[in-house]
Amino acid sequence: MKKNTRSENNEKLNNVNPNFNENKETLKNNSTNNTNNSNTGNREPAPVSPVSNSPGPNASNSSSDSSRPGCSDTSNPCSNSSSSRSSKASSSSSENSSSDSTGPLCPPGSSAVSLDKMTVNIPGQAYPIYFTSGYLSRCGDLLRQHLPETRKVFIISDDNVFPLYGSQLIASLEEHGFTVSSGTIRPGEASKTLETAAGFFDELIEQHFERNSVIISLGGGVVGDLAGFVAATYMRGIKFVQVPTSLLAQVDSSIGGKVAVNHPRGKNIIGAFHQPELVFIDVATLSTLAEREFITGMGEIIKHGVGFNYDYLKFLQQNAAEIQQQNPDLLLQMIYGSCNIKRKIVEEDEKEKGPRARLNLGHSVAHALETLTDYTHLTHGEAVAIGLVQEARLAEKLELISSDLVQEIITTLQQYSLPVELPSGASGDKIPARDILTAMASDKKSFQGKVSLALPSDPGECQIIRDWQEEDLLQILSS
């Protein structure tokens, strides 16, 4: 771990707290200047086109607009009204999800000088998710508004992201009176360990961080999981803020409060639920993301369409080329859409005691593959893509879905250059199916000694299935 301590900024705080419109949830810029990113690194931030100033389909203050086209327009699958999602345990030991085509998929209308806001309403701890493009310099202002009494901040990042965005974030925080320290890790799952977390505990103790202090995660999913774990366990829990810079983290791991480190026998086995104080998503940070890392985020995004919103899946299919070219309007729509799908599920089941387990669609096989390949051969999104296909094939065998839907899932993943077949192991041979099942048995999603699988059941729907047969999955994994 590398560390960097900055001295306190004693300038007077400009602690203006604007009134948020919770329906429209758009926060206008309080300043006229946007700080440019002047950091250095292996890959400089590329210019990002400003987001359109025209109002989006949800620009009305009303939370419902019956005159607006619905999600049948799959090139722009937005909807204003929010509906609840039900989950029932059936006689076959399954919990169902319904396709939620009525949930808002798109932000209320963004511009380079505004922030769109979504609120995660968890009992006792509602927190906002902010969306913007090219406006990381606003983060310190927002953090001061939400945490007016906090003084000390510790940024946890990695050696790739911190040179690109660390200075800009530190400057924004110091401008608003925070004392900032930082530490970085080597990128990758290999750094997500108890040993790495212990190094940060040493730093926090040495620098006298208190329960009123805050840890900020600046980076992708690995950094967010590790930083959140440190925040959840230091002094039995201190404040935590997510500033995700990878697509995977922006649409998935930064939302919902799951934090963890890995164990040699399983991924994310040691962890907690620890909700952030806020999440700040700047899609402009994706311009410095390696192509493979951008594509890996699409694995989780496609999962959201497959299991929770079929219109969203169609949106991803029809806009695949422009999304991969990082059209900023489409990126905001897509990221907002995935965040909203996950938000509603987290609100329904924060601690994953029931319906939230549906978000593990594709993950049982995926986590086994990551473990068996030592977290080095596949990215998380690539493993999820492969897991989606294998688990969809099992769903077909169980007569939950048609072969046409299985092929549609495969085709969508291939549109984004994601893998769909099982990888080879260290020997160069295909990973044995029995090894995958053995690794799955250690999964934290086990129930009474058996892994509960989230399987697709209809377009845009999934179920929790507990009564599947190992022989069926063995046959699929061996084919």
413 in Cβ contact with 297 (< 8 Å): no
Tell whether the torsion through CA atoms of 367, 372, 376 and 379 is positive or negative.
Answer: negative
- Annotated catalytic residue within 380, 391, 393, 408: 380
DSSP code of residue 344? H
- Annotated catalytic residue within 85, 304, 363, 393: 363
Active-site residue, 85 included: no
Token reading at 249: 């983290």
Active-site residue, 146 included: no
Q: For residue 20, what are the CA distances in angstroms to 27, 78, 276?
A: 7, 22, 19
- Annotated catalytic residue within 152, 267, 274, 342: 342
- Annotated catalytic residue within 367, 396, 408, 461: 367
230 in Cβ contact with 201 (< 8 Å): yes
- Annotated catalytic residue within 25, 95, 300, 461: 300
261 in Cβ contact with 229 (< 8 Å): yes
Q: Determine the Cα–Cα distance for residues 60 and 45; give it in Å rounded to an integer.
A: 33
The residues, any chain, with a CB within 8 Å of residue 291's CB and separated by 6 or more, are none
- Annotated catalytic residue within 85, 258, 314, 358: 258
Active-site residue, 176 included: no
- Annotated catalytic residue within 314, 356, 358, 393: 356
Active-site residue, 363 included: yes
Look at residues 340, 283, 347 and name the one whose alpha carbon lies nearest to residue 311.
340
- Annotated catalytic residue within 360, 382, 393, 461: 360
Residue with tokens 């998935």: 252
332 in Cβ contact with 281 (< 8 Å): no
- Annotated catalytic residue within 352, 391, 396, 408: 352
Residues of 349-363 as b/e, b for ≥16 C-beta within 10 angstroms?
Answer: bbebeebbbbbbbbb
- The number of residues making up the chain comes to 479
Three-state secondary-structure class, residue 317? helix
- Annotated catalytic residue within 12, 28, 236, 265: 236
Active-site residue, 356 included: yes
Active-site residue, 352 included: yes
Token reading at 319: 């806009």
Q: Determine the Cα–Cα distance for residues 333 and 458; give it in Å rounded to an integer.
A: 24
Residues with active-site annotation: 236, 258, 300, 342, 352, 356, 360, 363, 367, 380
